[in-house]
Amino acid sequence: MTFIISKLFRRKTSTETVLEQELISPPSTNMTAKEKQLAFIKDSLKPLLKAEGYKTIGNIWWKINGPFFNLVELQNFSWNSRNSIDFCFNFTTGFTSDIKNSTKPTIHDGIPYVRESYFEVSKNEYWKGTNGYQIDDSTDLDKFTKQVLKDFDVLIIPKLNLLTNEDSIISFYSDEFWGPRVKQSLTLRHKNIRIDN
């Protein structure tokens, strides 16, 4: 009996206190949609793209491949609120010589402007098509993160990593709209996407 009483009066370790508090009141998961998006970018997307050799500033990531560059831009939509976020990724490839500000390239420095569907991302629980990905205050951040990272790991990054020379760029951007524009720009050795038909 003495042993049990002495256990009641001993000091608890910090780990025991934290575990006990979690049992009494579970940790708050009441993150807003905006907080979830920011956590996803900081904790998952930036480290993934950094590991692939991309530089970053804000919501723009780019990688130089000799005379070419690839760029990924996260675009938020104007109708977003704290509890409902729609965003998409814009992608481009272009000549490094066409980058106007080498410390902050933009999507407009590249030749084509494409979104996730160009990489064959298909509709799922979080990617809705035209408006890209969607997060709200009820979104499971772990499931969301796994899905988007899967889209990048399986569909997007492997294709972007191949865009390092003219042949691979022409082959990838071969649809009837971007194909002729990309070929013309590569022939001229600078961005020139105007084609009068």
Sequence ranges of the domains in the chain: 30-164
Q: What is the mean pLDDT of the chain?
A: 85
Q: 125 falls in which pLDDT band (50, 70, 90)?
A: confident
> Over pLDDT 70: what percentage of the chain?
83
* pLDDT for 78: 92
The sheet carrying 84-95 orders its strands as: 55-57, 60-65, 68-76, 84-95, 133-136
Residue 34 is which amino acid?
K
> Once rounded to an integer, what is the mean pLDDT over residues 115-130?
88
What pLDDT was estimated at residue 195?
Answer: 53
Q: 13 or 31: which carries more pLDDT confidence? A: 31
Residue 14 has pLDDT above 90, yes or no: no
Would the CA dihedral through 32, 55, 155, 146 be positive or negative?
negative
pLDDT digits (tens, 9 = 90+) for 56-76: 999 999 999 999 999 999 999
Number of CB atoms found within 10 A of residue 78's CB: 5
pLDDT beyond 70 at 97: yes
pLDDT at 194: 61
Which of 161, 87, 68 shows the shortest CA–CA distance to 119?
161
Give burial (CB, 10 Å; 0-12/13-18/19+) of 122.
Answer: exposed
Taking 90 as the threshold, does the pLDDT of residue 131 lie above it? no
Asked whether the beta carbons of 93 and 110 are under 8 A apart, the reply is yes
